[in-house]
Amino acid sequence: MYTGMGCGMNTDPVLSHEIQIKEKRKKDYTLFRSILFLLPTWIILLIFFVGPILLTFYFAFTNLSLTGTEAKSLEFTGFQNFVTMFQDPNFRISMVNTIVFLVFSAVIGQQVLGFILALLMKEKNTSFRRIIGIIVIAGWVTPEIVVAFCWVAFLSDNGTLNMILGNMGMKPVTWLYTFPMISVIIANIWHGTAFSMLVYQAALDDVPKSVEEAAVIDGASRFQLLLRIVLPMMKGSIVTNMILVTLQTLGVFTLIFAMTGGGPGASTQTLPIFMYNQAFVNYQLGYGTAISLILLLIGIVSSTIYIRYMKVEI
């Protein structure tokens, strides 16, 4: 929306010149006001958002440390951190863990479960729909740290799941030690599915009824209808949701930290946990920052794809 438009119908050269000057002044004042209004945002974002990102690029190439002799003498060490990183078996483990966690909890788990929920709930009894919706959304609204407690209580040696198994005459399983990665993946699916479900519910509602009816009249089966008509029409939502959920999952720290602490060993150590351990447990901030740079780069690439894909009008 613009202001100060809609003149120029005037044919008098002198008057039109005066209007032009007025317009110019108004424009200058508009610019001044815009800058004034945007200034607090710019300052805050520059110091606390852009600053840290730039620092990431800088610190990643230094020997920055919390303690010891290196803490006093910050030195530029070139690609040393990255050489260390690529030789560090822990980095490779974390990278693989991150990919496994992303693929199974974000891409497959939340997406597929969210979609199935949205699809099955379509045109069902309203109160039934509502009850299932509330249960799934409850997991989403619950803060991450409480989600971790719930799942520790559910999966721990004396937890609910083992009690159920015991009642059925089965031996208890040390879930968090024997299957730590599956445990954190399931907990994260539980926490995140509601988002995908809501997105897909909205997307399914956007598919026009007439299109579905036309396909049914043409003799399409339910499965064909879903595969050939509904899914292609939802492509936009699927891609944007996929990228958003991936980005969110990439940053998951609290859930894993509180459930397993990255362990046992390094079996659930994803990149954020690895970064935290190096920076704040081993006090190697430079090395920790190099790891965050990897995280940041993955984030930057995904965000760029996301924005390209969105093609939003601004």
Partner 1 sequence: MNRFKLEKIVPYVILTVIGILFIFPLLWVLVASVDPNAQQALKTPDSLTTSNFTSILKDGAILRSFAIGLFLSLGQAVLVVLFAGLAAYPLSRYALKFKKPFMYTILFMTSLPITAVMVPVYQLFVYIDLQDSLIGTVLFLTASGLPYAIWMMKNFMDAVPLELEESAWIDGASVWEGLRRVVAPLMIPGICTVAIFTFSGSWGNFFVPYILIQTPEKFPASVTIFQFFGNYGMVEYGKLAAFSLIYTMPAVVLYIFSQRFMSQGFSLGGASKG
> By CB under 8 A, what part of segment 195-224 binds partner 1?
195, 198-199, 201-203, 205-206
Residue selected from 96, 108, 112, 153 as contacting partner 1 according to rule CB under 8 A: 153
Only one of the segments 17-25, 88-96, 160-168, 225-233 lies at the binding site for partner 1 (rule: CB under 8 A); that segment is 160-168
Q: Which of 265, 272, 278 has the alpha carbon at shortest distance from 292?
A: 272
CB atoms within 10 A of CB 228: 13
The residue assigned the tokens 């008057």 is 15
- Any idea of the CA torsion for 265, 268, 269, 273, to the nearest 10 degrees? -120
Tokens representing residue 306 in the block: 């996301």
Residue number, 14 or 289, with CB nearest to partner 1: 289
Encoded one letter per residue, x for contact with partner 1 by CB under 8 A and - for no contact, window 74-113 reads ---------------------------------------x
Residue number, 11 or 73, with CB nearest to partner 1: 73
Residue number, 13 or 194, with CB nearest to partner 1: 194
Distance CA 23, CA 4 (A): 7
Site for partner 1 in 21-60 (CB under 8 A): 30-31, 33-34, 37-38, 40-41, 44-45, 47-49, 51-53, 55-56, 59
Q: Which of 103, 98, 197 has the alpha carbon at shortest distance from 141?
A: 197
Pair 124, 206: CB distance under 8 Å: no
If binding is defined by CB under 8 A, does position 175 make contact with partner 1?
Answer: no
If binding is defined by CB under 8 A, does position 159 make contact with partner 1?
Answer: yes
Distance CA 104, CA 190 (A): 12
Residue number, 116 or 173, with CB nearest to partner 1: 116
Distance CA 215, CA 145 (A): 46
If binding is defined by CB under 8 A, does position 73 make contact with partner 1?
Answer: no
- The H or E element that residue 289 is part of is helix 285-310
Residue number, 32 or 79, with CB nearest to partner 1: 32
Tokens representing residue 246 in the block: 């991936």
Q: Which of 20, 38, 18 has the alpha carbon at shortest distance from 28?
A: 20
Closest approach, Cβ 248 to partner 1, in A, equals: 7
Residue number, 192 or 262, with CB nearest to partner 1: 192
Distance CA 273, CA 262 (A): 6
Residue number, 26 or 92, with CB nearest to partner 1: 26
Encoded one letter per residue, x for contact with partner 1 by CB under 8 A and - for no contact, window 231-270 reads -----xx--xx-xx--xx-xxxxx---x------------
Distance CA 307, CA 154 (A): 39
Residue selected from 7, 112, 141, 227 as contacting partner 1 according to rule CB under 8 A: 141
Residue selected from 135, 211, 227, 231 as contacting partner 1 according to rule CB under 8 A: 135
Site for partner 1 in 177-196 (CB under 8 A): 187, 190, 192, 194-195
Tell me the DSSP string of 149-196.
Answer: HHHHHHHSTTSHHHHHHHHTTPPP--HHHHSHHHHHHHHHHHHHHHHH
Closest approach, Cβ 13 to partner 1, in A, equals: 26
Closest approach, Cβ 196 to partner 1, in A, equals: 9
Closest approach, Cβ 305 to partner 1, in A, equals: 10
Residue number, 8 or 52, with CB nearest to partner 1: 52
Count of H-run helices and E-run strands, the chain? 17, 0
